[in-house]
């Protein structure tokens, strides 16, 4: 279905579809719970994964690139729950995002310049807010001569760029062996002569390796992080760092150096948008994300972090985009 990003099924006869305006109900030809379960099992098999009573949860990638998550009863009560995330086969440009309303027009030259100046960025937002969409567009702005190393859990990013190497996490097989973790992939990526290191989603102890990479000469990298606001990002990084055995002070100091900016995306009345750009600042109270630019229905505003952002971009100002 054109424009569809997500399809969710959790009961017979009905699905929920997201076309960018929020979830909408749609009838489907699934007569009962058994039919929903059969569909989930068939799709899991198509993705090379097992889904049955002994293994009632699955996360897989289908042959067309669609990401599948499914849960069977009793984990999902009464009926199997199917979640499908459609992956774009080609990234939208920043200008496309502006036309679609995801980026305010005045933000396009600023965001484009962040990429050109090799500012390292953390992209934050809730599930389905557009983090991956924005990241793919940013990577499409990278100079063609540069080599991009992408580390992902499920292989969703498809930037328009001629030199992309993708490393995808591998989970353990039925016997519990063969797993290749995200931290391992980050470390391996650094041995592959990257110009840009990209972590599709930072959600575990791999944050230690990402911070190390961004602190040892690998500038211009990107990572995404689940957070409700830019101001929540430091606490989320500290929590993930704890999983890797890092103390709060170490995470904060390394993150302050690693990330020049935080780009926050959110859903507003069903539509995705880049709502804020913040900078990381280390103070007496610890690490904080300070807004540099924000966009509202009335236009854009400069925040208290603007001068820090300009400094990180080598003194660039809005007039330089002309």
Mean pLDDT per block of 10 residues along the chain (322 residues) reads 81 88 87 94 90 90 86 93 82 86 87 93 89 92 94 82 89 72 86 91 86 85 92 94 93 93 87 91 91 83 91 70 38
Cβ atoms within 10 A of the Cβ of 41, count?
18
Q: What is the pLDDT of residues 275-302, one digit of tens each?
A: 999 999 998 889 999 999 998 767 788 8
Specify the pLDDT at position 322.
34
CATH class of 6-85: alpha beta
Give me the architecture of the 94-321 domain, per CATH: 3-Layer(aba) Sandwich (3.40)
How many Å apart are CA 238 and CA 250, to the nearest integer? Answer: 9
Max CA-CA distance within the chain?
A: 62
pTM for the predicted model, two decimal places: 0.82
For residue 185, give the H/E element and its range: helix 182-189
For the chain, the structural domain boundaries read 6-85, 94-321
* CA 21 to mean position of chain CA atoms: 20
Nearest by Cα to 263 from 93, 105, 97, 123: 123
- Do 261 and 119 form a contact (C-beta atoms < 8 A)? yes
């Amino acid at each position: 279905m054109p424009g569809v990003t997500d399809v969710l099924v959790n009961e017979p006869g009905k699905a929920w579809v997201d076309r960018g305006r929020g979830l909408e109900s749609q009838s489907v030809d699934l007569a009962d719970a058994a039919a929903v379960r059969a569909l989930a099992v068939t799709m899991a098999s198509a993705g090379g994964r097992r889904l049955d009573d002994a293994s009632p949860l699955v996360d897989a990638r289908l042959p067309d690139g669609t990401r599948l998550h499914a849960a069977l009863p009793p984990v999902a009560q009464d009926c199997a729950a199917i979640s499908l995330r459609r992956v774009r086969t080609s990234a939208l440009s920043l200008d496309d995002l502006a036309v679609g309303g995801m980026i305010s027009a005045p933000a396009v030259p600023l965001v484009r310049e962040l990429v050109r100046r090799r500012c390292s960025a953390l992209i934050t937002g809730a599930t389905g807010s557009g983090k991956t969409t924005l990241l793919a567009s940013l990577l499409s702005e990278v100079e063609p001569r540069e080599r991009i190393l992408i580390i992902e859990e499920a292989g969703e990013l498809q930037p328009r760029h001629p030199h992309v190497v993708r490393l995808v996490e591998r989970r353990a097989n039925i016997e519990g062996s063969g797993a290749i973790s995200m931290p391992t992939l980050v470390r391996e990526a650094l041995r592959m002569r990257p110009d840009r290191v990209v972590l599709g989603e930072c959600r575990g102890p791999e944050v230690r390796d990402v911070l190390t990479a961004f602190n040892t000469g690998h500038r211009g990298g990107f990572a995404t992080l689940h957070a409700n606001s830019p101001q929540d990002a430091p606490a989320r990084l500290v929590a993930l760092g704890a999983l890797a055995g890092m103390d709060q002070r170490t995470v904060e100091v390394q993150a302050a150096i690693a990330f020049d900016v935080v780009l926050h995306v959110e859903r507003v009345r069903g539509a995705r948008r880049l709502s804020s750009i913040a900078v990381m600042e280390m103070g007496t109270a610890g690490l904080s994300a300070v807004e540099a630019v924000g966009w509202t229905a009335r236009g854009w505003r400069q925040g208290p972090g603007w001068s820090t952002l300009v400094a990180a971009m080598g003194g660039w100002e809005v007039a330089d985009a002309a």
